A = this chain, B = another copy of it.
Amino acid sequence: MVNPLFGPELRMMLEEDNLPGQKAFCESIHPTTVAETLDEADFTVDEVWKVLSQTGSREQAAIFEYFPAAWQLKLVEGGGRPQMAKLIEQMSHDDRVDLLRRLSPRVADGLLRLVDEADRRDIATLFRYAANTVGSIMTTDYAWLPVSLTAGQALDRLRQQAPDRETIYYIYILNETTRRLEGVVSLRDLILCDRHVQVSELLESDIFALKVTDDQERAAEELARYDFLALPVTDEEGRLVGIVTHDDVIDVITQEATEDLQRQAAVGPISEAYFDASFVKVWKSRAGWLSALFILQMFTLTAIERFDDVIKQVIVLTLFMPLCMSVGGNAGSQAATLIIRALALEQVALGDWLRVFRRELAVGSALALTIGLLGFARTFLFTHSEILGGVPLGQLTLVIGISVAAICLCGTLVGSMIPLMLRRIGFDPAIASSPMIATISDVTGIMIYFSIARIFLL
């Protein structure tokens, strides 16, 4: 999406050693665009550093934050340590902790020794929080003020803080000695009122705060619920320790969507980009589920063994086995996915199970009728007489039509009820992946198919 001329232009500036041009490039366009140009146009690590070093460490940090994770690591390795330490001091507090987490402890320690005391302490604090918690995505560069000011004084104080703060549009009001969160004032209210109004009059004190140990998904839910720009984060004593901003939440939502999709396909979560994830990690996260499903699928053997007599007498039935079985898995995947998503978005609660059951019974019956008619038509119209092996076509048609319909309905009900059952016993309903539902449906499908065949054909 980047202007395709930026790359060649910058390449020429490098060849001509046009330093003012490189500086202007870094400073006059949006840092995202600078990072994307440097990323896409095949520059070497040395060339990137050469361009970056034409500007100040604040701009360097802004550009650096938009590089993909793999590039950031290459740049850390290829950059001078003192230069890198300066850049880290200027990075936003949450992004730099993400970066340091990805570095080897040796490299991270080496760099941290060159970072100034206050920033080092701040990094150590954020480092403590476990992955996927609110603490791990929050930033500590929020704007705050004591309550005892007028609007005018507040604006003056804010002007001093502003350059370093991630957002100044919400200003958190803290008790000056305990640092307890007392409320929030928006910059909007602050500039709309008269300079002499007391901040305490503007204060919104009944505010929602996240706990530092909350799951990051909670942050995404609550921010979306209130349409806020940022949410405050407090510790057990109610002291403000950070804020989570709207851009962090967008990242969390995208990451969670990836995880949901992976879970639905029975892949253990892989949070890295496709080419960045290690071979062993990818193997593990796929082999685990694949093996589990394979073992579960072994029940089909037991199921089929029970119908040994039917199969031996009516061999043509094996021909239709995959066709009949697959319907259950497909219908089940559809139902399971709809219910899992509805549970996640809180459109459906556990208590609604009977309503869900009734609805899926109705929809499943309509689907069964549709697919049953298709099965009926296919068998009656296109079955070669030589493969029938003496079985009357009418009866076979009946068996296939009824089986397919029954398996479709059964798959729909199984697919819709399993996520609710999983939630009921305390599991994440999303582990009812499409392959898992298909596997369970295969076993029930075999039982239904051969039972119906036994009735009509033996």
Contacts and interface: CB of A to CB of B under 8 A. Distances in A.
A188 interface: yes
A158 B192 CA distance: 8
A286 B169 contact: no
Contacts of A333: 265-266, 434-435
Nearest to A251: B224
Contact of A337 (B265, B355, B387, B442): B265
Contacts of A370: 287, 290-291
A294 B187 contact: no
A338 interface: yes
A43 to B, nearest CB: 18
Interface in A345-404: 345, 347-348, 352, 355-356, 359, 362-363, 366-367, 370-371, 374-375, 378, 384, 387, 404
Given A169-B187, A260-B261, A345 B301 contact: no
Interface stretch (A71-79, A121-129, A312-320): A312-320
Nearest to A359: B275
Nearest to A166: B227
B289 A28 contact: no
A430 to B, nearest CB: 10
Contacts of A155: 191
Contact of A274 (B187, B253, B347): B347
Contact-residue size bin, chain A (C-beta under 8 Å from the other chain): 35 or more
B265 A434 contact: yes
A19 to B, nearest CB: 21
Interface string A275-303: 11001001100110111011101101100
Contact of A366 (B256, B287, B446): B287
A165 B342 CA distance: 33
A439 interface: yes
Contacts of A101: none
B282 A297 contact: no
A323 B249 CA distance: 42
Given A254-B345, A274-B342, A297-B322, 11 more contacts: A261-B341, A265-B338, A267-B334, A274-B338, A290-B334, A290-B408, A291-B371, A301-B319, A301-B320, A311-B315, A318-B321
